[in-house]
């Protein structure tokens, strides 16, 4: 049976380039059964990364959790300490990436540098105390 799409090593080669921007890298030469594909040795922490390809772009972290539940659960089993982190990286067909931090209590989208960027809040109407109405 012929395989569709790019070979997995192409995505891992691109992921290695991104990872090397963050620190020293150890590639894990395994397969689908491994919990992670890359270890990034940053200055103050060690990051375990699982990499996958998809045709979809995810707008909400829970979508990623639903589609890649098995992979994320496998990475989630790794011990989480003060100096470790667990990440899940996804490469889309067009070459764009999404990065997610897997915490004990959930999953959050992060930047390629591993930093969490707070989403901008929506403006909320504030009631006018004198008029009893909302300002816009």
Domain ranges of the chain: 8-110
Res. 119 pLDDT band, cuts 50 70 90: low
Mean pLDDT of the chain: 84
Say if residue 1's pLDDT is above 70.
no
* Distance of alpha carbon 43 from alpha carbon 62, whole angstroms: 30
CATH for 8-110 is 3.40.1350
Q: What is the pLDDT of residues 82-118, one digit of tens each?
A: 999 999 999 998 999 999 999 988 899 999 999 887 7
């Amino acid at each position: 049976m012929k395989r569709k799409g790019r070979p997995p090593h192409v995505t891992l080669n691109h992921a290695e380039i991104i990872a090397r921007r963050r620190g020293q890298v150890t590639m894990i030469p395994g397969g689908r059964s491994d919990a992670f594909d890359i270890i990034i040795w940053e200055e103050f922490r060690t990051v375990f990364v699982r990499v996958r390809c998809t045709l979809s772009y995810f707008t909400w972290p829970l979508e990623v959790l639903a589609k890649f539940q098995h992979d994320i659960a496998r990475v989630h089993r790794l011990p989480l300490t003060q100096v470790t982190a667990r990440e899940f990286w996804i490469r889309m067909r067009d070459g764009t990436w999404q990065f997610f931090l897997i915490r004990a209590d959930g999953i959050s989208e992060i930047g390629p540098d591993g930093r969490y960027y707070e989403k901008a809040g929506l403006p909320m109407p504030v009631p006018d105390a004198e008029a009893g109405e909302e300002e816009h």
